[in-house]
Amino acid sequence: MALPVHPDILSLSPYVPGKPIDELQRELGLTRVIKLASNENPLGPSPKALAALSGAQDMLHRYPDGGAYRLRQVIADRWKVAKEQVILGNGSDEILGLLARTFLTPGDEAIMADHTFVIYKMEVTAVHGKPVIVPLVNWTHDLESMVRAVTPRTRLFFLCNPNNPTGTMVAAEDVDRLMAKVPEDIIVVFDEAYFEYVRNPQFPDAMAYVKQGRNAIVLRTFSKIYGLAGLRIGYGISTVEIIDYLNRVRPPFNANSLAQKAAMAALGDDEHVAKSRTVNAAGMEQMERGLRALGVTSIPSETNFLYFDAKRDGRLVFEALLREGIIVRHIDGTMLRVTIGQPDENAAFLHAFKKVLEGEGKK
Ligand SMILES: *Cc1c(COP(=O)(O)O)cnc(C)c1O
């Protein structure tokens, strides 16, 4: 007999992560596989974070500090907020889920862009909220239309800045205008997973809205520039009130002890962050130039990935690249996303992509 599962859950499909390297190696018998699919830091974890982990195995039989006292204090000091304004998540993904569970009742609306980070829609739907999806304009959030989509049922407003998968950002003056128009009781979620990569001086200071007491939350992660995706840790900064509500729903030991240790060290590793930014900026140029030489234009990006129109079936390009040992991300239609890697990885991608495009001509 069919289980009585809610139609909202039936409407979801499991998140498809970037293919793991060893799986592809096994499947295709490849010796070298390059993964440029999940916006991970190609330089690896912060060396300081790795050092902080040595010896940590001795405490694995103990539960982590559920209040994450020290890490929250370090984060609070860093951003000049109170410790009570900081929440940790098992990745910032988890905080997105906590926001949905804490603030949405069935039928409540959450405004988000299309395309944007796919987790928003999933978390909102899972609690029977209603995702209100507003198309991008010029690959960027259309803040005006998003504000117009507000109704009395709107509770959350997701702003992925810079946006994944497009790499675009909305500027400070546009966010200011948004915050002037959006009703104060709506929680604006600033998902800033790529914050540390941004180079544009027009990028907004979202933390300032939190400090003004607005109902806003800024999400950051240790998965991207800090290179700790495998440990699963991210954080949110918001008002004391919002953090208090989220804490009532948060699983008590959601941030594990290794993650807390590593994150604390990584946050203080300015050298690794600086090096990662430099390598990324050079790699971005290499990739943009290489794509242009192949007749492909990419969307200018503030992140560590590029979004581009392959002008042919993106799934076929994705699969042909897999056979060359390169994992990228097919977004939809003709659009692909590629993470900036180390120089040799970028070169290998460009070489393989060229081969794929040429191979097509011969068929
Ligand atoms: C990667 C990413 C996250 C967070 O990832 P976690 O590993 O769960 O911290 C959040 N938002 C966006 C837009 C991302 O790309």
pLDDT, tens digit (0-9, with 9 covering 90-100), for 136-161: 999 999 999 999 999 999 999 999 99
Alpha carbons 279 and 94: distance in angstroms, whole number: 29
Average pLDDT over residues 72-80: 98
* Ligand 1, atom nearest to 164 Cα: 13
> pLDDT category, 16, cuts 50, 70, 90?
confident
Alpha carbons 175 and 214: distance in angstroms, whole number: 13
Average pLDDT over residues 113-124: 97
Alpha carbons 50 and 311: distance in angstroms, whole number: 42
Distance 223 CA to ligand 1 centre (A): 7
Average pLDDT over residues 97-111: 98
> pLDDT category, 97, cuts 50, 70, 90?
very high
Mean pLDDT of the chain: 96
> pLDDT category, 238, cuts 50, 70, 90?
very high
State the pTM of this model.
0.96
Q: Quick check: CB of 123 below 6 Å from ligand 1?
A: no
Question: What Rg do the C-alpha atoms of the chain give, in angstroms?
Answer: 21
Least confident of 8-17, 64-73, 94-103, 222-231: 8-17
* Ligand 1, atom nearest to 221 Cα: 9
Helices assigned H by DSSP within 250-302 = 257-267, 270-293
Residue 18 has pLDDT above 80, yes or no: no
Distance 14 CA to ligand 1 centre (A): 16
- Determine the residue type at 231: L
Average pLDDT over residues 70-90: 98
Distance 232 CA to ligand 1 centre (A): 10
Least confident of 3-7, 13-17, 100-104, 308-312: 13-17
Alpha carbons 250 and 86: distance in angstroms, whole number: 13
Average pLDDT over residues 301-324: 96
Alpha carbons 320 and 109: distance in angstroms, whole number: 40
Residue 361 has pLDDT above 80, yes or no: no
